[in-house]
Amino acid sequence: MKSRALAVFACAALGLSSLQIVRGDPGTGTGTVTPAAKQTATERTRTATSYRFREDTLAGTVWISGADARREIESGAEGIAAGRVEIWRDGGKTIDVLDPGARTYYEERAFLARQGLPRVSLEALTLRRPFRIVGVESVRVALREVPIPETVSGVECHRALLTFSYDLTVSVAPLDDPLRARVEGSEDFCFVNPAPSHPLPFGHGLELRTGHPQVDAAIAARVAPLNAIPVARIVNVTRRVDGGEAVAGTSALLLTGIGEVPIASDAFTVPTGYRLREPRISPPVRKRH
């Protein structure tokens, strides 16, 4: 592998001319560190690990303190509006999504569970309705480290390649016999040590969300000994159902400006006065022929 190949590929995948343009000081974000209207000198603070991120169509800032985290999105397509704030609590057991403009919020995990929508890193990692997952088999995960260090945005990092594959048994009406699906993928990344005491939030760690617990556990077990923060990451996945046409997906991530900063303790709670309002999902409209 050529040096900096990952950095260049990540740049191209994110539509950037240079990795340097996503550098930023921790805490710049949307210009606010706490959801409160005003900070005072006596306000309680704690130390957080902060970084700027660029992931596919999203860009913003993240603060991590223990098992809690806060993400402020500055720009993003695909329905993710600029100014959205997400609060990750207790290692991701709850994820509150805030709209500061409307002063509303909803809890994402509960909302997605009610809709029957598993949180996945890439859609190609699983199958959704009308398919039903009957079984997951032949899970294989391998990790290979590259001894030559690379440099991403002025940070020296270590290169590694994770590969994985698994088979899905699925059913779909009106077919009586189950179908077989094959998923294969790779995670090419450059990492630094050490990572925070808890996995990086919002899918920014080396762990992947496939929608299948046994696959997620196998990948997590393989990358855990690295104790790493991926400063650059490319995930490629292909899925093929019953020998049919392959469906592919790619995701790119860059982290910069990693450092320790003070942050108000109430940055990890929903501000007083916010109303609960969940998104509305409109059913697909059938076209008349």
> What local confidence, expressed as pLDDT, does residue 243 receive?
84
Tell which residue, 34, 69, 35, has the closest CA to residue 49: 69
Note the pTM of the prediction, 2 decimals: 0.79
DSSP assignment of 228-259 equals: -EEEEEEEEEEEEETT---EEEEEEEEEEEEE
Q: Is the pLDDT of residue 74 over 60?
A: yes
The length of the chain, given as a count of residues:
289
> What local confidence, expressed as pLDDT, does residue 196 receive?
74
Please tell me the least confidently modeled range out of 34-38, 42-46, 100-104, 274-278. Answer: 34-38
- Using CB atoms within 10 Å of the CB of residue 52, give its burial: 0 to 12 exposed, 13 to 18 middle, 19+ buried: buried
What percentage of the chain carries pLDDT values higher than 90?
61
**Average of per-residue pLDDT across 29-58:** 66
Q: Is the pLDDT of residue 263 over 60?
A: yes
**Average of per-residue pLDDT across 38-46:** 60
What are 138-189's pLDDT values in tens digits?
999 999 999 888 988 888 999 999 999 999 999 988 888 899 999 999 999 9
Q: CB-side exposure of 152: number of CA atoms within 13 Å?
A: 27
Q: Is the pLDDT of residue 32 over 50?
A: no
